Structure 1
Amino acid sequence: MTRPLPERYLTPVDLADILSVPVETVYQWRRKHTGPRGFRVGRHVRFDPEDVRVWVESQMAEAA
């Protein structure tokens, strides 16, 4: 990742913006259990920036 991740938990919109993908893609990853690990806060989904970083690194390692 070229941009540093914020230190707060990320919303699906934040994650979509950071990765330059549609927000629906983030929800599809969640439904298919293929994206970064997320968690619920009430009815809202959040992502830990560290989990996102680890997931991106694993995607890069698989592509290499």
Structure 2
Amino acid sequence: MSNTENFLQAADLEQLTGIPAATWRYWAHKGTGPASFKLGRRRVYRESVIHAWIAEQEAQSGKAGQL
């Protein structure tokens, strides 16, 4: 059984979400946003973590709209 995971960088996340790569880098620097880590010299995000984070943002947004 293969346990492969895609790792995304800020530029990938910009294409995926429309949020600028600079914002992803800023959030990582501040310790906010989804979890990331250094892989060699590159900061990466697990694709599964990003999808979970997006779902969480959507759920929080839905709650705010119901108030």
Same fold (TM over 0.5): yes
TM-score by length of 1: 0.79
Pairs aligned (count): 58
Q: Which runs of 4+ in 1 moved over 3 A?
A: none
**Aligned residues: CA RMSD:** 1.3
Question: Aligned residue for 1:4?
Answer: none
- The corresponding residue for 1:18 is 16
Distance 1:62 1:52 in 2: 15
* Larger Rg computed on CA atoms: 2
How far 1:23 sits from its partner (Å)?
0.8
Deviation (angstroms), 1:55: 0.4
Structure 2 stretches of 5 or more lacking a match?
63-67
Percent identity (aligned): 29
TM-score normalised over the length of structure 2:
0.76
Task: Give the equivalent residue in structure 1 for 2:31.
Answer: 33
Shift of 1:8: 2.1
